Structures are given as structure tokens and as C-alpha cells.
Structure 1
């Protein structure tokens, strides 16, 4: 990139992850055009220097690289193909970098249809690291796509992430994210179980991260999640339980098709389904800890 002019950037989806990621691009001096399905969320990005577009096709028209971070495959489909979507813009030479976590098959299907419509390239690049990582630029990004496209977007992704790893062809990033979610979702369930046992047995669960630091049970999730669980710190949320459930259900589908046994993931998915049933769609993922205690815990 040295000596080359910076490319124009777009960002679609300014939610818990998207807004801080877009703001990092703006803080680095990049020209960023933005759009969000909820117009009120545009204000903070515009205040930080972004330019608002009337829709996804407007973002694409103003941008050579279009980043997006959306809730699910249905939202990605709408942004790509609904009226005013990406498919209506000129696509040759443009790349979509999709940070959303969706089914690998959905990624491959949407990417192929968009390329057929206007020649736009696609990289699936789901992220891990939560809202804290998004704000601090320490995310891990796992990508699927063409090597030349990965190299082209890498300097810009590097503003938002600590690690950017090319895992293979389209869909490989999503499959890698599913592996991540197996580990993250099961870890949340296990930490909630350990913290609840400590509380119910009369031990100060807030001291677990201190007591276990440096041992085999130590981890970033232990240090970060357990204090939030025990102190009921859920604002700002690190992520919602329904989002984790969506990803774990995708794991179960891919595992079924690939004949892979995933018993731990199946149990974790049921626990997050219980969380959704008992505390609603807005429950933070770490509220899984509350399943083992009184309803007011």
C-alpha cells in the first residue's frame, strides 16, 4: 500500500460491532460511506466523519471496498438483492467483505448470485472478539475468498483487527467461525456452571479468575466473563444469547451434513435456547449464568 492512494470504503450495518469498526476506519483517516437499516444509528457515524448513503447501492457506488456486519443471512440477502441493494450498483472491481456470521452455504450462494448479477467480488470474513475487540481493533478475522482479494483488503481490515487469516475459498471463513463458536459457546456454559457452583457452595466466585490465573483453567474468557456473570454486568452487552444460539444451530446443521458428532455443542445450544425462552431475545449471552440460580439472580 505504500505510495498507493487509499481506496474508498463503505460500511453497511452499524450495530454493536459495526459502529465501532467503522469508527476505527474513520479515525485512521479513511473516507467511509455508511448505511444502516435503522436510520437513527447513522448519526454517530456521520458525527465521526462518515458520509451517509440512501441505501446499499449508494454505498457501493461510492466505495471500492464495502464492509458489512449484519445480523443473519436474511439481512445479508436483503442488502444484496432487495430494491436499492448491492446488486443494483456497478460491481466490477469492487469487493464486499462480509463480517456477518452466517451459514457457509448461504455465503457461497449469495456471493455467486451477486457476482453473476454485476461482477462484484466477495470475501466472507466473520469476526471474533466481541464489542471490546471491535472498539480496540483487536478482533480476530477469519476469511474465505480469493487470495488476491484478501491481500487487497488486508491493510484496511488491519485497522479493525489484530489477526486476519485467509482460511481458504469462499465459505471457509464461516466454517472457521463455527469452530470458534463451538469453543466460545461451550466455554460460556462451562464458566457459568463453575461460577454458579462457587456461589451456591459459599465461595467468592469473583476471586475465581485470580485463583486460577496461570493454571490450566486460565483463559481470556475466564478473566473477562466470570466477573461480568457474577456482578450481573450486561451493559454494554458483549453479545446476545440469540446470536450465539443462531451460530450454534448452524454448527449443528453443518455437523449433521458432514456426519460430525458435536455433543457438547448440542448441549450448549439447548442452554442458550433455555436462556432465550426464559429471558427473551435481548438477553446477553453471559446471562446463561442466571439459569443456575433464582430468577432474580
Structure 2
């Protein structure tokens, strides 16, 4: 069986393990990263992997290119900028974007990609964190052509346990932003619960075990509360990234006319953390940031 020729741009905390799993699955893979070291390291570890000096060279050697980038500005630069993917993309090439963007921005990019290359853009944001990427258990929420997503599913299965088409272009991003709303408001609730336990004289280190199996139990509780109590040496997901996602949630809510009072308050909390210099801290460290409204809301 002839394997698809793949490209991958963006070898950050999520992208690197995802690309590694594609290489381990045996796919011919061209990779690019803004800092070349990660791409060169991946090439050294896998004979089927070629490190490229530009996104354009990735596109020249691939029929399907995956992106996993920080924000819309990075996606636009890599896809459409000078020496970007579109400049040398194969006619009809597929772009699969694993980044998290506003759905309206995704639709603009998809139309632009089709006009320039004749190919299709699939929005395919992921959930599951770095651990899920390394284990191949990510959840992918996809938007775009149904038949194409079905064709892509076995390839994406190198790092995802589940690929669910949610609708047309942008639907994957809308679903991811709903996911991020749940995740971030839950993390905020965990931070408040951790504070309450500490102020009440409870040993907060015992909370995850005490709540295991109850209605408050969750992957987030078991993963994030211990990190709120004992800060991790390295961030697995940053406050700045979550603020970027909640900015996109706010934009989608405004465009769709949805009231989001809780998410809006959490967004303010994240913005205050960034203003205090905690943008690159692990998301668990919002537990250290007092909202300006706290003094007036305590009974």
C-alpha cells in the first residue's frame, strides 16, 4: 500500500509528539519548525522524516500538510506568507489545521487556500493535551468535507483515538471553543476550590483522592489540582494560550449572540494573570492570582 506523503508544520508542545507518531507510523514526512533544531532532531530519529528549511519546501513534498501553531497570525504566515505553504503547494493539496482559531477566521483561510491551490482546508483542533498527543489518544473535532475527513481519519489515527466531523468549515473550531469553555471554567472552579480548602484549614493535597469517584471528580481535578498545590517545573499548557482561546470564545459568542458571563469572568482572570507576568506559567497557576473583584464578592 502506498502511504500518503505528509507534511507537518509546528513542532511545539503538541505538534512535536504528533509528528513523531506520524513518523513512527511509517509515513513519508516533511517537517518544518520556526526553530530548526526540533525538525532536525526528528529527522535524525526517523529515516522517513525530512527536515525542511521553509514551509514552502514542506508543501512541495507533501499532498497533505498538518499545522499545529500558536495562533491565527502564525497560521496565516505559515500558510500564505512569503515562502509559505501556498507558494509551492501541490495542486489540490489538503491542509489540516490542528491550531485553535476563531471559526470566522478559519472560513476566511479555507476560502483563500482553495482559491490559491484548488485544495481543501480541514479545521481539526485537538483536545487531550501533551500526554494525549504522546499516547495517540487525542480527540479531534473536525470541520469540512465529510468524505475527505473520512479519508483522513486513518492518518490522523496515528495520534488521535477519535475523529468526529462536527459539520462544515469552522464547525471543528466552534466545537473546540465550546470545549475550551468547559475546560477553562472548570480549571477556574478548581482554583477556587483549592483556595477554599486552604483557607478552611483542609489539607488540599488530599482533595483529589477524597473526591475520586464522586460527582466533582474529573481528569482535570486529578491532573490540575495537584499542580495548583505543588507548581510543576515546566508548563504543559500556559495561561497565555488559554487566554488566546478565551479571546476566540468571546469573539464567537459576540458573533453568534450567546451570553457567556462565566467565561467572561474567567477571561478577565487570565488577563490579570498575564498582566502580572504569569503568561508563560502553567495554567494551574491562576490559583495564585486574585481577581480584583474578589474583595467585593466575599460575603
TM-score normalized by the length of structure 1: 0.94
The equivalent residue for 1:291 is 289
Aligned residue number for residue 29 of structure 1: 26
Q: Distance in 2 between matches of 1:69 and 1:228?
A: 25
Partner of 2:4: 7
What corresponds to 1:181 in structure 2?
180
Q: Distance in 2 between matches of 1:16 and 1:273?
A: 22
CA contact (8 A) 1:143 1:167 kept: yes
| Distance in 1 (alpha carbons) for counterparts of 2:287 and 2:89 | 48
The residue that corresponds to 1:19 in the other structure is 16
> Could you tell me which residue of structure 1 aligns to residue 59 of structure 2?
60
1-side partners of 2:174 and 2:227: how far apart?
29
- The answer as to whether partners of 2:21 and 2:134 remain within 8 angstroms in 1 is yes
What CA distance in whole angstroms lies between the structure 2 residues aligned with 1:120 and 1:152?
14
CA distance in 2, matches of 1:277, 1:79: 28
Task: Count residues in correspondence.
Answer: 289
The 5-angstrom pairing of residues 1-297 of structure 1 reads 4-49=1-46, 50-235=49-234, 237-292=235-290
* Inter-partner Cα distance in structure 1 for 2:198 and 2:21: 39
Q: Normalized against structure 2, the TM-score is what?
A: 0.93
Return the offset for 1:234.
4.4
The answer on whether the counterparts of 1:90 and 1:118 sit within 8 Å (CA) in structure 2 is yes
Gaps of 5+ in 1: none
Aligned-partner Cα distance in 2 for 1:257–1:26 = 39
Report if the CA contact (8 A) 2:144-2:169 is conserved. yes
CA RMSD, Structure 1 to Structure 2 (Å): 1.4
